[in-house]
Amino acid sequence: MDGQEAKRADFGELLLACVTIPERWMTDVMERRFPDAPIVFRAIGYVENSFTQPAPPEAIRSVESRIILRPDLVEGLEGLGPGDSLLVLFYFHLSEGYSLLQHPRGDRSRPKRGVFALRSPRRPNGIGATVVELVAVQDNVLLVRNLDAIDGTPVLDIKPA
């Protein structure tokens, strides 16, 4: 075996060693890097619309919603305009608990899927994300279409989509 083949063999063994990390060690690393200390976000605003209770997402998306932004953040809206697509991140404030496997939209006739393959509000971290169309901006109020969050939902962030 020449020097190049030896280097490739060493790299192959290293790669194999990385792939076969013992689960116990991986759990220890995750606990050190991501302790159970809470991650705290402060809402940047909230949603206003006619839905006060959870409803089918297509029904909620069918109405225009208002995002009421905290007044101290209005300057951050500079550069946004009608027709822009925005990604709205929000907190599922009425959702409790989660299951890693769920029937899509609670329909028991459909096979269970992993929570990360679904848009379910019942998830380990109750964060929702929806791409909306910006209709208008007036002061600290954004009028949007296609938002599937209900009235009073805390908004965590807004980004260009």
Q: In three state form, how does the secondary structure of the chain look?
A: CCHHHHHHHHHHHHHHHHHCCCHHHHHHHHHHHCCCCCCCCCCCEEEECCCCCCCCHHHHHCCCEEEEECHHHHHHHCCCCCCCEEEEEEECCCCCCCCCEECHHHCCCCCCEEHHHCCCCCCCCCEEEEEEEEEEEECCEEEEECCCCCCCCEEEEEEEC
Confidence of residue 5 (pLDDT cuts 50, 70, 90): very low
Average confidence (pLDDT) over 124-150? 96
| Residue 107 belongs to domain spanning | 45-160
Q: pLDDT band at residue 76, thresholds of 50, 70 and 90?
A: very high
38 within domain boundaries = no
Is residue 135's pLDDT more than 90?
yes
The whole-number average pLDDT for the span 14-22 is: 48
| 80 and 154 inside one domain | yes
Residues 14 and 49 in one domain: no
Residues 28 and 61 in one domain: no
Query: What's the pLDDT tens digit per position in 59-73?
Result: 999 999 999 999 999
Number of domains forming the structure of the chain:
2
